[in-house]
Chain A
Amino acid sequence: MGLYGQVRAIREAVINDARTHLEKSIELNPDYSEAHFQLALLLKDRGEIKKAQKHLQKVVELEENHVEGHYHLALLCHEKKDYEKTRTYYLRTIELDPHHADAHYHFALFLEEQEEYIEAKNLLQKTTDIEQNHTQAYYRLARLLTDPDDYDLAKQNYQIAVDIDPDFAEAHYYLGKLLAVGRRINEDGTLVIEPEYESAREHFKKAIELNQDNHKAHFNMGKTLAKEKEYASAEEHFLRAIEIHPDYAKAHYQLALLLIELGRLIPEHPEDAKKASQS
Protein backbone atom coordinates (compact mmCIF):
# COMPACT_ATOMS: atom_id res chain seq x y z
CA MET A 1 0.00 0.00 0.00
CA GLY A 2 1.39 3.41 -0.97
CA LEU A 3 1.60 6.41 1.32
CA TYR A 4 -1.63 7.86 -0.02
CA GLY A 5 -3.38 4.55 0.59
CA GLN A 6 -2.05 4.37 4.13
CA VAL A 7 -3.22 7.89 4.90
CA ARG A 8 -6.64 7.06 3.50
CA ALA A 9 -6.88 3.90 5.59
CA ILE A 10 -5.93 5.77 8.76
CA ARG A 11 -8.42 8.53 7.98
CA GLU A 12 -11.15 5.97 7.33
CA ALA A 13 -10.40 4.25 10.66
CA VAL A 14 -10.49 7.58 12.54
CA ILE A 15 -13.82 8.54 10.94
CA ASN A 16 -15.35 5.16 11.70
CA ASP A 17 -14.12 5.42 15.27
CA ALA A 18 -15.61 8.92 15.60
CA ARG A 19 -18.90 7.70 14.18
CA THR A 20 -19.05 4.85 16.68
CA HIS A 21 -18.39 7.24 19.58
CA LEU A 22 -20.97 9.76 18.39
CA GLU A 23 -23.60 7.04 17.93
CA LYS A 24 -22.79 5.72 21.39
CA SER A 25 -23.12 9.22 22.88
CA ILE A 26 -26.55 9.63 21.28
CA GLU A 27 -27.57 6.19 22.50
CA LEU A 28 -26.63 7.24 26.04
CA ASN A 29 -28.16 10.68 25.74
CA PRO A 30 -30.65 11.06 22.83
CA ASP A 31 -30.96 14.79 23.57
CA TYR A 32 -27.23 15.50 23.14
CA SER A 33 -27.58 18.03 20.33
CA GLU A 34 -23.86 18.56 19.66
CA ALA A 35 -23.40 14.81 19.10
CA HIS A 36 -26.32 14.81 16.65
CA PHE A 37 -24.78 17.80 14.88
CA GLN A 38 -21.26 16.33 14.57
CA LEU A 39 -22.66 12.98 13.46
CA ALA A 40 -24.79 14.76 10.84
CA LEU A 41 -21.72 16.52 9.41
CA LEU A 42 -19.82 13.25 9.34
CA LEU A 43 -22.69 11.46 7.60
CA LYS A 44 -23.12 14.31 5.11
CA ASP A 45 -19.44 14.08 4.22
CA ARG A 46 -19.89 10.39 3.53
CA GLY A 47 -22.90 11.01 1.33
CA GLU A 48 -25.44 9.54 3.76
CA ILE A 49 -27.75 12.48 3.18
CA LYS A 50 -31.00 11.06 4.55
CA LYS A 51 -29.41 10.07 7.85
CA ALA A 52 -27.58 13.40 8.07
CA GLN A 53 -30.83 15.29 7.58
CA LYS A 54 -32.52 13.26 10.29
CA HIS A 55 -29.81 14.20 12.80
CA LEU A 56 -29.80 17.86 11.78
CA GLN A 57 -33.54 18.02 12.26
CA LYS A 58 -33.06 16.57 15.71
CA VAL A 59 -30.49 19.34 16.42
CA VAL A 60 -32.92 22.18 15.58
CA GLU A 61 -35.69 20.37 17.41
CA LEU A 62 -33.54 20.21 20.56
CA GLU A 63 -32.09 23.70 20.10
CA GLU A 64 -34.35 25.92 18.05
CA ASN A 65 -31.67 28.64 17.95
CA HIS A 66 -28.88 26.37 16.70
CA VAL A 67 -27.46 28.54 13.88
CA GLU A 68 -25.21 25.93 12.28
CA GLY A 69 -27.97 23.32 12.46
CA HIS A 70 -30.27 25.53 10.40
CA TYR A 71 -27.45 26.49 8.06
CA HIS A 72 -26.45 22.91 7.32
CA LEU A 73 -30.09 21.91 6.90
CA ALA A 74 -30.41 24.69 4.30
CA LEU A 75 -27.31 23.43 2.46
CA LEU A 76 -28.63 19.89 2.58
CA CYS A 77 -32.13 20.80 1.38
CA HIS A 78 -30.58 22.86 -1.42
CA GLU A 79 -28.59 19.81 -2.47
CA LYS A 80 -31.78 17.74 -2.41
CA LYS A 81 -33.60 20.44 -4.42
CA ASP A 82 -36.17 20.90 -1.69
CA TYR A 83 -36.50 24.58 -2.49
CA GLU A 84 -39.15 25.61 -0.02
CA LYS A 85 -37.30 24.19 2.97
CA THR A 86 -33.98 25.57 1.66
CA ARG A 87 -35.42 29.08 1.73
CA THR A 88 -36.93 28.62 5.18
CA TYR A 89 -33.70 27.31 6.73
CA TYR A 90 -31.52 30.03 5.16
CA LEU A 91 -33.89 32.74 6.35
CA ARG A 92 -33.90 31.28 9.85
CA THR A 93 -30.08 31.07 9.89
CA ILE A 94 -29.76 34.72 8.89
CA GLU A 95 -32.41 35.69 11.40
CA LEU A 96 -30.45 33.92 14.16
CA ASP A 97 -27.08 35.22 13.01
CA PRO A 98 -27.29 38.32 10.78
CA HIS A 99 -23.48 38.21 10.37
CA HIS A 100 -23.27 34.67 9.00
CA ALA A 101 -21.32 35.39 5.80
CA ASP A 102 -21.53 31.88 4.36
CA ALA A 103 -25.28 31.68 4.92
CA HIS A 104 -25.70 34.94 3.02
CA TYR A 105 -23.40 33.69 0.29
CA HIS A 106 -25.02 30.29 -0.18
CA PHE A 107 -28.52 31.75 0.08
CA ALA A 108 -27.50 34.15 -2.72
CA LEU A 109 -26.37 31.22 -4.89
CA PHE A 110 -29.70 29.53 -4.22
CA LEU A 111 -31.63 32.68 -5.18
CA GLU A 112 -29.51 33.06 -8.32
CA GLU A 113 -30.61 29.55 -9.32
CA GLN A 114 -34.20 30.61 -8.70
CA GLU A 115 -33.57 33.68 -10.91
CA GLU A 116 -34.21 36.06 -8.04
CA TYR A 117 -31.27 38.14 -9.17
CA ILE A 118 -31.92 41.38 -7.32
CA GLU A 119 -32.15 39.65 -3.96
CA ALA A 120 -29.12 37.47 -4.83
CA LYS A 121 -27.05 40.57 -5.59
CA ASN A 122 -28.12 42.19 -2.31
CA LEU A 123 -27.11 39.10 -0.37
CA LEU A 124 -23.73 38.91 -2.09
CA GLN A 125 -23.16 42.56 -1.32
CA LYS A 126 -24.07 41.85 2.29
CA THR A 127 -21.65 38.88 2.31
CA THR A 128 -18.77 41.14 1.31
CA ASP A 129 -19.84 43.70 3.91
CA ILE A 130 -19.68 41.02 6.60
CA GLU A 131 -16.53 39.31 5.36
CA GLN A 132 -14.36 41.63 3.37
CA ASN A 133 -12.09 38.87 2.06
CA HIS A 134 -14.87 36.67 0.67
CA THR A 135 -13.39 36.31 -2.83
CA GLN A 136 -16.13 34.02 -4.10
CA ALA A 137 -18.80 36.56 -3.12
CA TYR A 138 -17.03 39.36 -5.03
CA TYR A 139 -16.66 37.05 -8.01
CA ARG A 140 -20.27 35.81 -8.00
CA LEU A 141 -21.55 39.36 -7.58
CA ALA A 142 -19.48 40.50 -10.56
CA ARG A 143 -20.84 37.60 -12.64
CA LEU A 144 -24.37 38.76 -11.85
CA LEU A 145 -23.67 42.36 -12.80
CA THR A 146 -24.17 41.84 -16.52
CA ASP A 147 -26.08 45.02 -17.29
CA PRO A 148 -24.00 47.70 -19.09
CA ASP A 149 -25.20 50.03 -16.35
CA ASP A 150 -23.23 47.93 -13.83
CA TYR A 151 -19.99 47.76 -15.82
CA ASP A 152 -17.88 49.71 -13.33
CA LEU A 153 -19.28 47.82 -10.37
CA ALA A 154 -18.66 44.46 -12.04
CA LYS A 155 -15.12 45.48 -12.89
CA GLN A 156 -14.52 46.63 -9.33
CA ASN A 157 -15.78 43.36 -7.86
CA TYR A 158 -13.69 41.19 -10.19
CA GLN A 159 -10.71 43.38 -9.41
CA ILE A 160 -11.17 42.94 -5.65
CA ALA A 161 -11.48 39.16 -6.12
CA VAL A 162 -8.17 38.95 -7.99
CA ASP A 163 -6.49 41.40 -5.62
CA ILE A 164 -7.38 39.16 -2.67
CA ASP A 165 -6.57 35.98 -4.56
CA PRO A 166 -4.16 36.64 -7.46
CA ASP A 167 -4.45 32.98 -8.48
CA PHE A 168 -8.22 33.09 -8.98
CA ALA A 169 -8.19 31.89 -12.59
CA GLU A 170 -11.92 32.21 -13.30
CA ALA A 171 -12.05 35.77 -11.98
CA HIS A 172 -9.13 36.72 -14.25
CA TYR A 173 -10.87 35.10 -17.22
CA TYR A 174 -14.22 36.81 -16.71
CA LEU A 175 -12.61 40.16 -15.89
CA GLY A 176 -10.73 39.81 -19.18
CA LYS A 177 -13.98 39.16 -21.02
CA LEU A 178 -15.69 42.14 -19.42
CA LEU A 179 -12.81 44.45 -20.37
CA ALA A 180 -12.48 43.06 -23.89
CA VAL A 181 -16.15 43.77 -24.62
CA GLY A 182 -16.27 47.10 -22.78
CA ARG A 183 -20.05 47.52 -23.07
CA ARG A 184 -21.17 50.13 -20.59
CA ILE A 185 -23.44 53.08 -20.01
CA ASN A 186 -21.77 56.44 -20.16
CA GLU A 187 -22.28 59.27 -17.67
CA ASP A 188 -24.78 60.86 -20.04
CA GLY A 189 -26.77 57.62 -20.20
CA THR A 190 -25.69 56.43 -23.65
CA LEU A 191 -24.50 52.90 -24.37
CA VAL A 192 -20.84 52.89 -25.37
CA ILE A 193 -18.45 50.15 -26.41
CA GLU A 194 -15.03 51.01 -25.04
CA PRO A 195 -12.91 47.86 -24.84
CA GLU A 196 -9.82 47.91 -22.65
CA TYR A 197 -7.78 45.47 -24.68
CA GLU A 198 -4.48 45.87 -22.91
CA SER A 199 -5.91 45.14 -19.48
CA ALA A 200 -8.05 42.35 -20.91
CA ARG A 201 -4.95 40.72 -22.33
CA GLU A 202 -3.21 40.84 -18.97
CA HIS A 203 -6.08 38.99 -17.32
CA PHE A 204 -6.39 36.39 -20.10
CA LYS A 205 -2.62 35.89 -19.83
CA LYS A 206 -2.92 35.29 -16.10
CA ALA A 207 -5.88 32.92 -16.61
CA ILE A 208 -3.78 30.95 -19.12
CA GLU A 209 -0.77 30.92 -16.79
CA LEU A 210 -2.96 29.46 -14.06
CA ASN A 211 -4.57 26.92 -16.37
CA GLN A 212 -2.76 26.32 -19.62
CA ASP A 213 -5.56 24.12 -20.93
CA ASN A 214 -8.24 26.81 -20.64
CA HIS A 215 -9.30 26.77 -24.29
CA LYS A 216 -11.77 29.61 -23.76
CA ALA A 217 -9.08 31.87 -22.35
CA HIS A 218 -6.87 31.11 -25.38
CA PHE A 219 -9.85 31.80 -27.65
CA ASN A 220 -10.65 35.15 -26.05
CA MET A 221 -6.98 36.11 -25.94
CA GLY A 222 -6.87 35.37 -29.68
CA LYS A 223 -9.93 37.54 -30.33
CA THR A 224 -8.45 40.43 -28.34
CA LEU A 225 -5.10 40.19 -30.12
CA ALA A 226 -6.84 40.04 -33.51
CA LYS A 227 -8.74 43.22 -32.67
CA GLU A 228 -5.39 44.87 -31.96
CA LYS A 229 -4.09 43.55 -35.29
CA GLU A 230 -1.52 41.34 -33.60
CA TYR A 231 -2.37 38.61 -36.03
CA ALA A 232 0.53 36.21 -35.52
CA SER A 233 -0.03 35.96 -31.75
CA ALA A 234 -3.79 35.79 -32.24
CA GLU A 235 -3.34 32.87 -34.63
CA GLU A 236 -1.18 31.05 -32.08
CA HIS A 237 -3.89 31.34 -29.43
CA PHE A 238 -6.68 30.21 -31.77
CA LEU A 239 -4.56 27.23 -32.81
CA ARG A 240 -3.88 26.40 -29.16
CA ALA A 241 -7.61 26.60 -28.36
CA ILE A 242 -8.28 24.18 -31.24
CA GLU A 243 -5.43 21.92 -30.12
CA ILE A 244 -6.99 21.68 -26.64
CA HIS A 245 -10.54 21.40 -27.92
CA PRO A 246 -10.56 20.27 -31.58
CA ASP A 247 -14.35 20.53 -31.82
CA TYR A 248 -14.47 24.18 -30.76
CA ALA A 249 -16.51 25.62 -33.66
CA LYS A 250 -16.13 29.25 -32.56
CA ALA A 251 -12.32 28.97 -32.57
CA HIS A 252 -12.33 27.51 -36.09
CA TYR A 253 -14.58 30.35 -37.18
CA GLN A 254 -12.48 33.12 -35.63
CA LEU A 255 -9.28 31.55 -36.96
CA ALA A 256 -10.82 31.50 -40.44
CA LEU A 257 -11.74 35.20 -40.21
CA LEU A 258 -8.19 35.93 -39.12
CA LEU A 259 -6.72 33.94 -42.02
CA ILE A 260 -8.96 35.81 -44.46
CA GLU A 261 -7.67 39.05 -42.96
CA LEU A 262 -4.08 37.80 -43.36
CA GLY A 263 -4.83 36.67 -46.91
CA ARG A 264 -6.06 40.15 -47.67
CA LEU A 265 -2.89 41.69 -46.36
CA ILE A 266 -0.57 39.48 -48.38
CA PRO A 267 -2.55 37.20 -50.67
CA GLU A 268 0.42 35.25 -51.99
CA HIS A 269 1.69 33.28 -49.03
CA PRO A 270 0.64 32.86 -45.39
CA GLU A 271 4.21 33.19 -44.11
CA ASP A 272 4.47 36.62 -45.71
CA ALA A 273 1.15 37.60 -44.16
CA LYS A 274 2.44 36.49 -40.80
CA LYS A 275 5.54 38.65 -41.18
CA ALA A 276 3.40 41.59 -42.24
CA SER A 277 1.26 41.26 -39.14
CA GLN A 278 4.36 41.10 -36.94
CA SER A 279 5.98 44.21 -38.41
Chain B
Amino acid sequence: MPLSSPDLAQYHLERAIALDPDYAAPRYHLALYLKQQERVQEALRYLGQAVAVATRGADALAARATEYNENHQFERAKRCLHKSQAERALAALASCEMGLILLGEGQSAEAEKRFTQAVESDPTHADAYYQLGRIALEQGREKEARELFEKAVDMDFTHAPAHLELAFLIPSDEDQEAARNHYLIALDLDASLRCAELEKRFG
Protein backbone atom coordinates (compact mmCIF):
# COMPACT_ATOMS: atom_id res chain seq x y z
CA MET B 1 0.00 0.00 0.00
CA PRO B 2 1.51 3.38 -0.96
CA LEU B 3 2.26 5.78 1.88
CA SER B 4 0.04 8.83 2.13
CA SER B 5 1.59 12.29 2.50
CA PRO B 6 1.45 12.41 6.34
CA ASP B 7 2.85 8.87 6.58
CA LEU B 8 5.68 9.90 4.31
CA ALA B 9 6.30 12.90 6.53
CA GLN B 10 6.64 10.60 9.52
CA TYR B 11 8.97 8.35 7.53
CA HIS B 12 11.27 11.26 6.63
CA LEU B 13 11.26 12.66 10.17
CA GLU B 14 12.21 9.25 11.53
CA ARG B 15 14.87 8.93 8.84
CA ALA B 16 16.34 12.33 9.81
CA ILE B 17 16.43 11.25 13.46
CA ALA B 18 18.08 7.94 12.57
CA LEU B 19 20.69 9.65 10.37
CA ASP B 20 21.57 12.30 12.92
CA PRO B 21 20.88 11.29 16.53
CA ASP B 22 21.98 14.75 17.70
CA TYR B 23 19.34 16.51 15.60
CA ALA B 24 16.63 17.75 17.96
CA ALA B 25 14.35 19.61 15.52
CA PRO B 26 12.94 16.52 13.71
CA ARG B 27 12.09 15.00 17.10
CA TYR B 28 10.19 18.15 18.03
CA HIS B 29 8.27 18.22 14.76
CA LEU B 30 7.54 14.50 14.85
CA ALA B 31 6.05 15.05 18.32
CA LEU B 32 3.86 17.91 17.04
CA TYR B 33 2.71 15.71 14.19
CA LEU B 34 1.87 12.84 16.56
CA LYS B 35 0.06 15.23 18.90
CA GLN B 36 -2.08 16.37 15.97
CA GLN B 37 -3.02 12.74 15.47
CA GLU B 38 -3.83 12.50 19.19
CA ARG B 39 -0.99 10.03 19.77
CA VAL B 40 -0.20 11.81 23.01
CA GLN B 41 2.11 9.30 24.69
CA GLU B 42 4.34 8.99 21.61
CA ALA B 43 4.35 12.77 21.27
CA LEU B 44 5.48 13.14 24.88
CA ARG B 45 8.23 10.59 24.33
CA TYR B 46 9.63 12.47 21.33
CA LEU B 47 9.32 15.82 23.09
CA GLY B 48 11.29 14.42 26.03
CA GLN B 49 13.96 13.27 23.58
CA ALA B 50 13.97 16.66 21.86
CA VAL B 51 14.54 18.43 25.20
CA ALA B 52 17.37 16.04 26.12
CA VAL B 53 19.09 16.20 22.72
CA ALA B 54 18.79 19.99 22.40
CA THR B 55 20.01 20.58 25.95
CA ARG B 56 22.94 18.24 25.44
CA GLY B 57 23.79 19.99 22.19
CA ALA B 58 23.52 23.42 23.79
CA ASP B 59 25.82 22.40 26.66
CA ALA B 60 28.41 20.94 24.28
CA LEU B 61 28.35 24.08 22.12
CA ALA B 62 28.66 26.34 25.18
CA ALA B 63 31.66 24.30 26.38
CA ARG B 64 33.25 24.59 22.95
CA ALA B 65 32.62 28.36 22.99
CA THR B 66 34.47 28.60 26.32
CA GLU B 67 37.38 26.67 24.86
CA TYR B 68 37.52 28.95 21.83
CA ASN B 69 37.36 32.01 24.05
CA GLU B 70 40.27 30.72 26.10
CA ASN B 71 42.24 30.24 22.88
CA HIS B 72 41.26 33.76 21.75
CA GLN B 73 39.29 32.32 18.82
CA PHE B 74 36.48 34.79 19.38
CA GLU B 75 34.66 34.45 16.06
CA ARG B 76 34.30 30.71 16.50
CA ALA B 77 33.27 31.23 20.13
CA LYS B 78 30.56 33.67 19.02
CA ARG B 79 29.21 31.25 16.42
CA CYS B 80 29.10 28.41 18.96
CA LEU B 81 27.26 30.61 21.45
CA HIS B 82 24.63 31.57 18.87
CA LYS B 83 24.08 27.92 17.99
CA SER B 84 23.93 27.04 21.68
CA GLN B 85 21.23 29.67 22.26
CA ALA B 86 19.22 28.31 19.32
CA GLU B 87 19.41 24.80 20.81
CA ARG B 88 18.25 26.12 24.20
CA ALA B 89 15.35 27.90 22.53
CA LEU B 90 14.35 24.62 20.89
CA ALA B 91 14.61 22.79 24.24
CA ALA B 92 12.32 25.46 25.74
CA LEU B 93 9.79 25.07 22.91
CA ALA B 94 9.72 21.30 23.41
CA SER B 95 9.40 21.63 27.22
CA CYS B 96 6.56 24.11 26.80
CA GLU B 97 4.80 21.80 24.36
CA MET B 98 5.12 18.94 26.89
CA GLY B 99 3.60 21.22 29.51
CA LEU B 100 0.64 21.99 27.27
CA ILE B 101 0.00 18.30 26.59
CA LEU B 102 0.25 17.48 30.29
CA LEU B 103 -2.07 20.36 31.11
CA GLY B 104 -4.57 18.93 28.64
CA GLU B 105 -4.26 15.60 30.41
CA GLY B 106 -5.08 17.29 33.74
CA GLN B 107 -1.54 16.86 35.13
CA SER B 108 -0.96 20.47 36.17
CA ALA B 109 1.85 19.72 38.67
CA GLU B 110 3.85 17.91 35.97
CA ALA B 111 2.96 20.61 33.46
CA GLU B 112 4.24 23.32 35.83
CA LYS B 113 7.58 21.51 36.03
CA ARG B 114 7.84 21.53 32.24
CA PHE B 115 7.01 25.23 31.94
CA THR B 116 9.60 25.97 34.63
CA GLN B 117 12.10 23.86 32.69
CA ALA B 118 11.23 25.90 29.57
CA VAL B 119 12.04 29.25 31.19
CA GLU B 120 15.22 27.78 32.66
CA SER B 121 16.32 26.74 29.16
CA ASP B 122 15.26 29.99 27.56
CA PRO B 123 14.52 32.87 29.94
CA THR B 124 12.94 34.81 27.07
CA HIS B 125 10.21 32.22 26.42
CA ALA B 126 7.09 34.37 26.90
CA ASP B 127 4.51 31.63 26.52
CA ALA B 128 6.05 29.51 29.27
CA TYR B 129 5.73 32.48 31.68
CA TYR B 130 2.15 32.91 30.56
CA GLN B 131 1.33 29.24 31.17
CA LEU B 132 3.00 29.37 34.60
CA GLY B 133 0.88 32.46 35.31
CA ARG B 134 -2.28 30.57 34.37
CA ILE B 135 -1.39 27.73 36.73
CA ALA B 136 -0.60 30.19 39.53
CA LEU B 137 -3.91 31.93 38.91
CA GLU B 138 -5.85 28.68 39.03
CA GLN B 139 -4.19 27.89 42.34
CA GLY B 140 -5.17 31.29 43.75
CA ARG B 141 -1.64 32.79 43.71
CA GLU B 142 -2.77 36.04 42.12
CA LYS B 143 0.25 38.17 42.95
CA GLU B 144 2.62 35.58 41.48
CA ALA B 145 0.36 35.16 38.45
CA ARG B 146 0.43 38.89 37.78
CA GLU B 147 4.24 38.93 37.97
CA LEU B 148 4.40 36.03 35.54
CA PHE B 149 2.02 37.67 33.05
CA GLU B 150 4.05 40.86 33.30
CA LYS B 151 7.18 38.84 32.60
CA ALA B 152 5.45 37.30 29.55
CA VAL B 153 4.64 40.71 28.04
CA ASP B 154 8.13 41.94 28.92
CA MET B 155 9.57 39.09 26.88
CA ASP B 156 7.04 39.39 24.06
CA PHE B 157 4.97 42.53 23.87
CA THR B 158 2.72 40.90 21.27
CA HIS B 159 1.55 38.17 23.67
CA ALA B 160 -2.16 39.09 23.58
CA PRO B 161 -3.44 36.51 26.11
CA ALA B 162 -0.95 37.76 28.73
CA HIS B 163 -2.15 41.34 28.20
CA LEU B 164 -5.70 40.13 28.58
CA GLU B 165 -4.94 38.35 31.85
CA LEU B 166 -3.25 41.48 33.15
CA ALA B 167 -6.29 43.54 32.22
CA PHE B 168 -8.34 41.23 34.44
CA LEU B 169 -5.81 40.96 37.22
CA ILE B 170 -4.97 44.59 37.92
CA PRO B 171 -7.44 45.65 40.60
CA SER B 172 -9.71 48.46 39.40
CA ASP B 173 -8.86 50.64 42.40
CA GLU B 174 -5.13 50.31 41.74
CA ASP B 175 -4.42 51.45 38.21
CA GLN B 176 -7.42 51.43 35.99
CA GLU B 177 -5.51 53.13 33.20
CA ALA B 178 -2.93 50.32 33.10
CA ALA B 179 -5.64 47.67 33.07
CA ARG B 180 -7.45 49.47 30.29
CA ASN B 181 -4.22 49.74 28.30
CA HIS B 182 -3.56 46.02 28.55
CA TYR B 183 -7.10 45.38 27.40
CA LEU B 184 -6.75 47.68 24.42
CA ILE B 185 -3.39 46.19 23.47
CA ALA B 186 -4.83 42.69 23.70
CA LEU B 187 -7.73 43.66 21.44
CA ASP B 188 -5.39 45.41 19.04
CA LEU B 189 -3.12 42.38 18.84
CA ASP B 190 -5.86 39.83 18.59
CA ALA B 191 -9.27 41.11 17.65
CA SER B 192 -10.69 37.62 17.86
CA LEU B 193 -10.25 37.54 21.64
CA ARG B 194 -13.57 37.29 23.41
CA CYS B 195 -13.69 40.42 25.46
CA ALA B 196 -17.35 40.89 26.14
CA GLU B 197 -16.79 40.77 29.87
CA LEU B 198 -13.99 43.29 29.64
CA GLU B 199 -16.15 45.61 27.63
CA LYS B 200 -18.74 45.37 30.34
CA ARG B 201 -16.09 46.12 32.93
CA PHE B 202 -14.33 49.03 31.22
CA GLY B 203 -17.12 50.37 29.09
Residue-wise interface mask of B (1-36) relative to A, using a CB-CB cutoff of 8 A (1 in contact, 0 not) = 000111011111101100110010110011001000
- Does B113 reach chain A (CB closer than 8 Å)? no
CB of A253 within 8 A of CB of B13, answer yes
**CB pair B5 A252 closer than 8 Å:** no
Distance from B101 Cβ to chain A, minimum over Cβ atoms (Å): 18
Q: Is the CB of A267 within 8 A of B6?
A: yes
Within 8 Å by CB of A260, from B25, B29, B75, lies B29
In the assembled complex, which residues on chain A have CB atoms less than 8 Å from the CB atom of B74? 115
- Check B20 against A249 for contact (C-beta < 8 Å): yes
| B143 at the binding interface (Cβ < 8 Å) | no
Chain B positions within 8 Å of A262 at CB level: 5
Q: How far is the CB of B156 from chain A (nearest CB, A)?
A: 16
Contacts of A249 in B (CB 8 A): 15-16, 19-20, 23, 26
The 8 A CB mask of A245-260 against B (1 = contact, 0 = none) is 0011110110111011
- B181 neighbours in A (Cβ, 8 Å): none
Complex Cα distance A255/B33, Å? 14
Residues of A within 8 A of B76 (CB): 115
The range of chain B's interface size is 20 to 34
> With the chains together, A129 CA to B22 CA distance in Å?
45
Q: Which residues of A contact B15 (CB under 8 A)?
A: 249, 252
- Measured CB to CB, the nearest residue on chain A to B29 is A257
State how many angstroms separate the Cβ of B54 from the closest Cβ of chain A: 14
**Beta-carbon nearest neighbor of B72 in chain A:** A115
Question: Are the C-beta atoms of A270 and B16 separated by less than 8 Å?
Answer: no
Q: Is the CB of A115 within 8 A of B9?
A: no
Q: How far is the CA of A259 from the CA of B75 in the complex (A)?
A: 37
Q: Contact flags (1/0) for A91-133 with B, using CB distance below 8 Å?
A: 0000000000000000000000001010000000000000000
Q: Count of chain A residues with Cβ under 8 Å from any Cβ of B?
A: 19
- Provide the main secondary structure of the chain A interface: helix
Q: Are B6 and A263 in contact (CB under 8 A)?
A: yes
Q: B12, A255: Cβ atoms under 8 Å?
A: yes
Verify if B41 is at the interface (C-beta below 8 Å from A).
Answer: no
Contact residue among A253, A263, A270 (Cβ-Cβ distance under 8 Å from B25) = A253
CA distance in complex: A115, B77 (Å) = 11
Interface pair B4/A250, CB less than 8 Å apart: no
Q: Decide yes or no whether B69 CB sits under 8 A from chain A.
A: no
CA distance A39 to B15 in the complex (A): 55
Complex CA gap A115/B12 in Å reads 38
Q: A115-B73, A115-B76, A252-B13 are in contact. Are A259 and B5 (CB under 8 A)?
A: yes
In the complex formed, the residue of B with least CB distance to A271 is B5
Chain B residues with Cβ under 8 A from A273's Cβ?
5
- B30: chain A residues at CB < 8 Å are 256
* Contact partners of B12 in chain A: CB under 8 A: 252-253, 255-256, 259
A171 to B170, CA, bound (A): 57
Least CB separation from B33: chain A residue: A260
**Contact pick for A270, options B5, B29, B33, CB 8 Å:** B5
Known: A115-B75, A255-B12. A260 touches B6 (CB 8 A): yes
Task: Among B5, B9, B16, B75, find the residue whose CB has the most chain A CB atoms closer than 10 A.
Answer: B5
Question: Is B16 in contact with A253, judged by CB distance below 8 angstroms?
Answer: yes
Give B146 Cβ to nearest chain A Cβ, in Å: 31
CA distance A267 to B74 in the complex (A): 48
Find the A residue at minimum CB distance from B21. A249
Residue of B nearest to A115 (CB): B73
Contact, CB under 8 Å: B9 / A263: yes
Question: Are the CB atoms of B75 and A253 closer together than 8 Å?
Answer: no
A46 within 8 A of B: no
| Residues of A in contact with B (beta carbons under 8 Å apart) | 115, 117, 247-250, 252-253, 255-257, 259-260, 262-263, 267, 269-270, 273
Question: A117-B75, A259-B8 are known contacts; what are 19 more A-B pairs with Cβ within 8 Å?
Answer: A115-B73, A115-B74, A249-B15, A249-B20, A252-B26, A253-B13, A253-B16, A253-B25, A253-B26, A253-B29, A256-B30, A257-B9, A259-B5, A259-B9, A260-B6, A263-B6, A263-B9, A267-B6, A270-B5
Please list the residues of chain B having a beta carbon within 8 angstroms of any beta carbon in chain A. 4-6, 8-13, 15-16, 19-20, 23, 25-26, 29-30, 33, 73-76
